[in-house]
Amino acid sequence: MKKAFTHWYRVFVMNLVVMPGMVLMTTVLILVFPLAFFLFRLGTSWNNDRIMRKFVWYYGRIWQRIISPFVEMELTGFDGKIPVPSVIVVNHLSFFDTFFMNQLPISNVCFAVRAWPFKMPFYGPFMRLARYLDVESMPWESVMASGKKVLEKNGTILFFPEGHRSRDGDLKKFYSGAFKMSVETGVPLVPVCITGTDRFFPPSRGWFEPCRIKIRMLAPVRPEAFDSHLPHCEMKKYVQALMARNIQSLNHQDNN
Boundaries of every domain in the chain = 2-255
In tens, the pLDDT along 63-105 reads 999 999 999 999 999 887 889 999 999 999 998 999 999 999 9
Average pLDDT on 239-255 reads 89
pLDDT at res. 91: 97
In tens, the pLDDT along 7-17 reads 888 999 999 99
Give the bridge partners for 194, in sequence order.
215
pLDDT at res. 87: 98
Q: How confident is the model at residue 207 (pLDDT cuts 50, 70, 90)?
A: confident
HSE toward the beta carbon, residue 56, CA cutoff 13 A: 28
Alpha helices in 44-123 (DSSP H): 48-67
pLDDT at res. 81: 80
106 touches 82 (CB < 8 A): yes
Average pLDDT on 44-60 reads 95
Fold that domain 2-255 belongs to in CATH = Glycerol-3-phosphate (1)-acyltransferase (3.40.1130)
Phi and psi at residue 88, to the nearest 5°: -110, 140
Q: In what order do the strands lie in the sheet with 156-159?
A: 71-76, 211-217, 189-195, 86-90, 156-159, 109-113, 133-134
Q: What percent of the chain has pLDDT over 90?
A: 79
3-state secondary structure of 211: strand
Round the average pLDDT of the chain to a whole number and report it: 92
